[in-house]
Structure 1
Amino acid sequence: MSGFWNTLFSAGQFIPHGHCYLWKSSLVWLHLTSDSLIALAYYSIPLSILYLVKKRRDLPFNWIFLLFCAFIVACGTTHLMDVWTLWHPTYWLSGVIKAGTAGVSLLTAVELIPIVPKALALPSPAQLEQANQQLQNEIAERVKVEEQLKQYQSQLEQRVAERTAELEASKESLRELFEREQQAKAEIQLYTERLTLALEAAKMGSWDWDLQKNEVFWSPYHEQMFGYEPGTSQRTYANWKNRVHPEDLERVEATIQESIATGQDYNCEYRLLLPNGELRWVNGFGRVNYDGEGHPIGMIGMVIDITHSKLAQEALRQSEETARQQLAEIEAIYATAPIGLCILDTDYNYVRVNESLAQINGIPVEAHLGHTVREILPELGEFQEPIFKQVVQSGEPVFNVEVHGVTPAQPDVERDWIVNYYPLKKADQQVIGISITAQEITERKLAEKELKKRAEELIRLNTTLAHTMTLLKTRNQELDQFAYVVSHDLKAPLRAIAQLSEWIEEDLGEQLPPDNREQLNLLRRRVYRLEGLVNGLLEYSRVGRTEVLIETVVVEDLLREVIDSLAPEASFRINIDSDMPTLKTKKILLNQVFSNLISNGIKHHDRPDGQMRISVEERPDMYEFAVTDDGPGILPQYHQKIFQIFQTLKSRDEQENTGIGLSIVKKIIEGEGGTIWIESQEQQGTTFRFTWPKS
């Protein structure tokens, strides 16, 4: 074990990495500074990520951010080791750290792959907003109905007052009403149920429960109904559970689990106990969604606040006398209700039908009375008879049944309704009939089908896009790895060849003939040229494939930095126009463009006392920059050739040049949405013009 640690921290017979740089101070400092700054950046980035994860605990997949932190810290450590090995060749330690970095990187990449489809499957804010808008429209319609009902009730109360005065004035009328009391008693319960329906609140909330992630999305009115401040659409199962009345919780959870297990629609009434002590009644309805293999993946549904309905039922039970007096007014409400209403006896014959239901069926009101539902609507009657039987036998209502079919009104059009079934009972709780409400939802069902179709298409497109992006990322990683390997495997032998040629020259000293010395110099120049080609190819391959920071750039200051770094001869003059702009752009890329163009003008000038001018003209969406020199110029037939990679106008033995610089410039400018062209004639100087976006 001690041998392992000795090997790990031992330099052995290795030489420091600085030898690869020939201990050139400028090159050593360049790598030292770059690796140090990269390490500093890598260590600072995880702090920001950890702060984000800590503040946003509701973020999905927040553990992947922690993996990214570990990956970034490991990368920063490898760069610190690159600084250390400049002087201390502990390459075993460096390799172990890189192996650790590789492990963390591979783990992060593997864990990221299954997350991408799940992230793409999350509903977008636009989709939720559209669904919420549809719900708000329905709520507005229900509020309108409720306002109409309130108006009817106000009229009802006024009429009751008038009738009461009349009854007080006429004892004879009162005695007649008293004698009819027993006859009307059976009808009172019928009208009580109609009044319950008329007073029932029309507001409702929606929810979407992802069973796999255990995430729940609520509409704003759902949050308000449950006593939460609207604004956080993503909720948890615990948020729901904390509001359900403890006496109802076990029953409701059992109903939900039965729905998930059997696939039947979930339908349950229960109470809410809010933090301020307020008690609310709600009616929940939901439906289970399944994947292609039949496994439940989620539930969607609605919740309706029926507190007012419950209170109204209690009030109506306590005021039978008032209900009897309002008999005529209730009759009017029943006749003019905007939804279909009917009453069946225990043999399922129509006893009463309102005009709305008659219009839905396409048959006059009188034609319904005395006939069964099956006789009027054969297919719909056959479907609903089991429900009628259930209501009569159990004495319990059945809510929100979706009915699909056709009616004589439109025999060629398939339609959908939401139907509720209420048992009508006598005082001894004996069921004497069924009250039915029917609301048409054909347009909504068609919209839901179309929305589902569009959602499925979007999911398919997102899946294809995710696969393409993953493949593209893999190809880019392979290209980066290939470039790194080629660079390392080519540049290391090249440096060794150059070093060996110098050692041979030093060892032979004066014994080396001038011809051989010149050949060694030529060998080194060819090696440096090949190294320049490798570096140029790497730089060309990276253009457009790496993200570059957008900064505020003062172009005049940028140009002076470029000129200072190029250090031209004192006799070579470079003039910068005073109207250079300030813009938000990718500073590194603009620096690279100007550096290549200016150095190209200096390098290919035929005099040491040349002149160069850098100017700019403003366009609507672009700036047009020009770099003009008074050099030997370029013949027109070469204007396009110079932008091709590896193309030069002079022999490489005559002038060292890789032929990559201008091709990189063209690739950068076109990648940013601009263009570049040349204006030149032989012995008349050269002007390179290019456009660059303002933002």
Structure 2
Amino acid sequence: MPDMIPLDTWNFFFAASPFIPHGHCYLWKPDLVWLHLVSDALTALAYYSIPVTLFYFVKKRADLPFNWIFLMFCAFIVACGTTHLMSIWTLWHPSYWLSGTIKAGTAAVSLFTAIELVVIMPGALALPSPAQLEQANQELQAQIAERIKAEATLKTYQTQLEQRVAERTAQLEASNQCMEELLVREQEARQQAETAKQEIQHYTDRLTLALDAAKMGSWDWDLQTDTLFWTPIHEAIFGYEPGKPERSYEDWASRIHPDDLPRVEATIQSALTNREDFDCNYRLLLPDDTLRWVDALGRGYYDATGKAVRMTGMIQDITSRKLFEESLKRSEETARQQLVEIEAIYASAPIGLCVLDREFRFIRINDALAQINGLPASAHLGKRVHEILPELGQVQQPHFEAVITTGEPVLNVEVKGMTPSQPEVERHWLVSYYPLKKSSGEVLGINITTQEITDRKIAEQSLQERANELTQVNAILARTTTLLKNRNQELDQFAYVVSHDLKAPLRAIANLSEWMEEDLGQQLPEENKHQLQLMRKRVYRMEDLINGLLDYSRIGRREVSIEFVSVQELLNEVIDSLAPPSTVAIDIVSELPTFPARRLLLNQVFSNLISNAVKHHDSPNAHIWIGCKEQNEFYEFTVTDDGPGIDPQFHMKVFTIFQTLRSRDDQENTGVGLSIVQKIIDTEGGTIQIESALGEGTTFRFTWRKHPRSAITDID
């Protein structure tokens, strides 16, 4: 059996004299005693619960590197909790040797843990960094952007194709409708011409009958007395009231249209002079403004000396005939114009057009369709479709028969096959079949329009293949997005561990050093005090380093709202929050803009740059200048100081994370601030440069977009 601990040793540690219980220091005031008792008890309870949580975490996370360091943390945290229990014990029992021994053991474990933490730090830093995860995130964002761009391009091409097809279809329908209307008008014009001829013949027959029946007005003009006699029909034609057969020349002349009267009088005079028959058409203008056309025929009679003494004749109302002749003339002109338009459509239409009779023979065809078929237009006329295009004729036979049988059009039929022009190439057409009808509704033939859509079919097939490729890319991106989501969750969990499980022990170490310094008081040598203070500084530096790492990892992964920012007001807030010494002068040397930006990120950039200018200045009387210059798409900001400057060989080093140019024991600095600045500016699409030389001050020059990029959010 091992030797028992000597009794003297136990007495030494638990001896009560010559010391007094710690409660005497509190004058045994109940409130004060209970305050310390409850505080130490709760602290001890908290310290004992932390190792349990850490031990459970290490056991569950077998893949966690350096898990033994967590067990070391468990050991010194348990020791810390024991010191608080000893504080309760020494309230009534002055076992200060035992208390001091426990504190010494706690310090040893704490120091050993801190040293081992420094030793494993390079290995911890070798773990995948947030920058690497951020790079993977950016690459994924680039792939997503490329996919969205490809989808937008595909959609644009599809929209353009649909628009072109719709435009061509509309043109085809409009051309076909126009052609059909023109053909119908041509038939109507021909029918009207035929009807007009028939009506003219009927009118001639009626006129003959009228002449035979003496239905025409007659007149007798006495040239010597200048009096006129005419029949009642003549009176009715001239619009006179019946009952006054005798009229004067002035009565007759007053009813002649003023524009025609000189011509009519000249014709009469010429007929009398030349002893010719008077034959003239002229207009009557009646008192009620009615206009009539009349056809007058007269013959003169002469005395023995050859002087004209009398003229008789017939008169006929030809108003209806004149109107009909004018209507017929207009109809013929319209028909001629329609025929010209039809010919122009057939000659210039960008689509194939043809007309088939009821036996499916070509009776008209334009050059566009003849070119599609690969034969001259003249080779088609009079031949059936099956003779020119056997395969295509057989395919379209049911549509021909449907139009002839039902009298209804068959629209937008997709036909594919080969033609003599390209016997080895399968081509596609969009064909419509329209009935060509008489006015009675009888189908005379078929009007066909043909539009080639081979290129569209090829494009549709290409688009389908592209869509299949995009579907595969979408599946890959979905898997990548899931993987990145899991990686971000792991990063968030790691950040939580760093923030919660590492910062709490660090604060415990700092508090322990303060308590040791307070408890030992004047008994602690100055060298030990300096070491404890140095340890606390390094603990605080470690906590700042952890905070900096967390801030650095969050850049670009959290959504930051965009708002209109007055840079002048923003700088006022930054300077007020930094509260620089009164000996530091900060001047704004140019007008500052107001523009949309992420205010929080711009605040971080200015805060770090101004804070560095103040912190690293070698004189208390520092001077800082802030300026701005507008560029095309950016604002260029400058932060200049008159400090000691930076050697050009270290210009790139200042932006490297954890890098400092001076010892951290000489000046508290984590080396993260400028790394955060550079990462923020890179994320916002800007650049940052440093201009400095030893003894000449330093200028940080960075650009910021006038219009920010779209918000970047976490992939949750």
TM-score after normalising by structure 2: 0.50
Tell me which amino acid in the other structure corresponds to 2:608. Answer: N
CA deviation after TM superposition for structure 1 residue 576, in Å: 2.3
Instruction: Confirm or deny: 8 A CA contact 2:634 2:705 kept in the other structure.
Output: yes
- Aligned partner of 1:106 in structure 2 is none
Q: 1:460 to 1:484 in 2, by over 3 A?
A: farther
Q: Which stretch shifts more, 593-602 or 412-421? A: 412-421
- 1:568 alignment partner, one of 555, 580, 597: 580
Tell me which amino acid in the other structure corresponds to 2:456. Answer: A
How many angstroms apart in 1 are the aligned matches of 2:377 and 2:622? Answer: 103
Structure 1 residue 143 and structure 2 residue 152: aligned? no
- Aligned partner of 2:451 in structure 1 is 441
Tell me which amino acid in the other structure corresponds to 1:439. Answer: T
- Aligned partner of 1:604 in structure 2 is 616
Deviation by residue 1:191-237 (Cα, 9 ceiling, x = unmatched)? xxxxxxxxxxxxxxxxxxxxxxxxxxxxxxxxxxxxxxxxxxxxxxx
Tell me which amino acid in the other structure corresponds to 2:194. Answer: R
- Aligned partner of 2:559 in structure 1 is 547
The 5 A counterparts of 1:110-259 are 124=155, 127-128=158-159, 131-170=162-201
CA deviation after TM superposition for structure 1 residue 566, in Å: 0.9
Instruction: Confirm or deny: 8 A CA contact 2:373 2:420 kept in the other structure.
Output: yes
How many angstroms apart in 1 are the aligned matches of 2:458 and 2:617? Answer: 71
Q: Percent identity?
A: 51
How many angstroms apart in 1 are the aligned matches of 2:520 and 2:623? Answer: 45
Question: SS where residue 354 of structure 1 aligns?
Answer: strand
Structure 1 residue 595 and structure 2 residue 604: aligned? no
Unaligned runs of 5+ in 1: 1-12, 20-112, 175-325
Instruction: Confirm or deny: 8 A CA contact 1:167 1:173 kept in the other structure.
Output: no
CA deviation after TM superposition for structure 1 residue 492, in Å: 2.6
CA deviation after TM superposition for structure 1 residue 528, in Å: 1.1
Instruction: Confirm or deny: 8 A CA contact 2:435 2:447 kept in the other structure.
Output: no
The 5 A counterparts of 1:460-539 are 460-461=469-470, 464=473, 466-467=477-478, 471-539=483-551
- Aligned partner of 1:44 in structure 2 is none
- Aligned partner of 1:686 in structure 2 is 698
- 1:453 alignment partner, one of 443, 456, 462: 462
How many angstroms apart in 2 are the aligned matches of 1:563 and 1:352? Answer: 91
Question: SS where residue 657 of structure 1 aligns?
Answer: coil
How many angstroms apart in 2 are the aligned matches of 1:584 and 1:507? Answer: 56
- 2:678 alignment partner, one of 666, 671, 688: 666
Deviation by residue 1:388-434 (Cα, 9 ceiling, x = unmatched)? 788899999865432212223444554333345689999xx9xx999
Question: SS where residue 614 of structure 1 aligns?
Answer: strand
Instruction: Confirm or deny: 8 A CA contact 1:634 1:681 kept in the other structure.
Output: yes
Question: SS where residue 658 of structure 2 aligns?
Answer: coil
Tell me which amino acid in the other structure corresponds to 1:489. Answer: D
The 5 A counterparts of 1:268-283 are none
The 5 A counterparts of 1:649-664 are 649-664=661-676
How many angstroms apart in 2 are the aligned matches of 1:641 and 1:445? Answer: 63
- Aligned partner of 1:267 in structure 2 is none
Instruction: Confirm or deny: 8 A CA contact 1:420 1:436 kept in the other structure.
Output: no
Tell me which amino acid in the other structure corresponds to 2:463. Answer: R
CA deviation after TM superposition for structure 1 residue 508, in Å: 4.5
Structure 1 residue 613 and structure 2 residue 625: aligned? yes
Instruction: Confirm or deny: 8 A CA contact 2:590 2:628 kept in the other structure.
Output: no
Tell me which amino acid in the other structure corresponds to 1:642. Answer: V
Tell me which amino acid in the other structure corresponds to 2:174. Answer: V
Q: Which stretch shifts more, 572-581 or 647-656? A: 572-581
- Aligned partner of 2:120 in structure 1 is none
Q: 1:350 to 1:574 in 2, by over 3 A?
A: closer
The 5 A counterparts of 1:350-429 are 350-356=360-366, 360-362=372-374, 373-384=385-396, 400-411=412-423, 413-419=425-431
Instruction: Confirm or deny: 8 A CA contact 2:428 2:457 kept in the other structure.
Output: no
Q: 1:419 to 1:131 in 2, by over 3 A?
A: closer
Instruction: Confirm or deny: 8 A CA contact 2:433 2:448 kept in the other structure.
Output: no
Q: 1:634 to 1:150 in 2, by over 3 A?
A: same
Deviation by residue 1:346-382 (Cα, 9 ceiling, x = unmatched)? xxx6445422466654557786688765443232244
CA deviation after TM superposition for structure 1 residue 462, in Å: 7.0
Instruction: Confirm or deny: 8 A CA contact 1:575 1:612 kept in the other structure.
Output: yes
Tell me which amino acid in the other structure corresponds to 1:615. Answer: G
CA deviation after TM superposition for structure 1 residue 565, in Å: 0.7
How many angstroms apart in 2 are the aligned matches of 1:671 and 1:150? Answer: 66
How many angstroms apart in 2 are the aligned matches of 1:685 and 1:333? Answer: 87
Tell me which amino acid in the other structure corresponds to 2:389. Answer: L
Tell me which amino acid in the other structure corresponds to 1:630. Answer: D
Question: SS where residue 580 of structure 2 aligns?
Answer: coil
How many angstroms apart in 2 are the aligned matches of 1:643 and 1:692? Answer: 18
Report the aligned-residue RMSD.
4.7
How many angstroms apart in 2 are the aligned matches of 1:585 and 1:485? Answer: 33
> How many pairs does the alignment contain?
426
Tell me which amino acid in the other structure corresponds to 2:364. Answer: N
Tell me which amino acid in the other structure corresponds to 2:462. Answer: K
Question: SS where residue 637 of structure 1 aligns?
Answer: helix
How many angstroms apart in 1 are the aligned matches of 2:420 and 2:395? Answer: 16
Q: 1:167 to 1:469 in 2, by over 3 A?
A: farther
Tell me which amino acid in the other structure corresponds to 1:638. Answer: F
CA deviation after TM superposition for structure 1 residue 525, in Å: 1.4
Deviation by residue 1:479-523 (Cα, 9 ceiling, x = unmatched)? 334333333332232223323333444455555444443333222
Question: SS where residue 547 of structure 1 aligns?
Answer: coil
Higher relative contact order (CA 8 A, sep 6+): 2
Instruction: Confirm or deny: 8 A CA contact 2:645 2:692 kept in the other structure.
Output: yes
How many angstroms apart in 1 are the aligned matches of 2:688 and 2:503? Answer: 32
Instruction: Confirm or deny: 8 A CA contact 2:435 2:445 kept in the other structure.
Output: yes
CA deviation after TM superposition for structure 1 residue 672, in Å: 2.7
How many angstroms apart in 2 are the aligned matches of 1:154 and 1:690? Answer: 77
How many angstroms apart in 1 are the aligned matches of 2:190 and 2:502? Answer: 101
Tell me which amino acid in the other structure corresponds to 1:541. Answer: S
How many angstroms apart in 2 are the aligned matches of 1:138 and 1:393? Answer: 25
Q: 1:666 to 1:121 in 2, by over 3 A?
A: closer
How many angstroms apart in 1 are the aligned matches of 2:688 and 2:184? Answer: 78
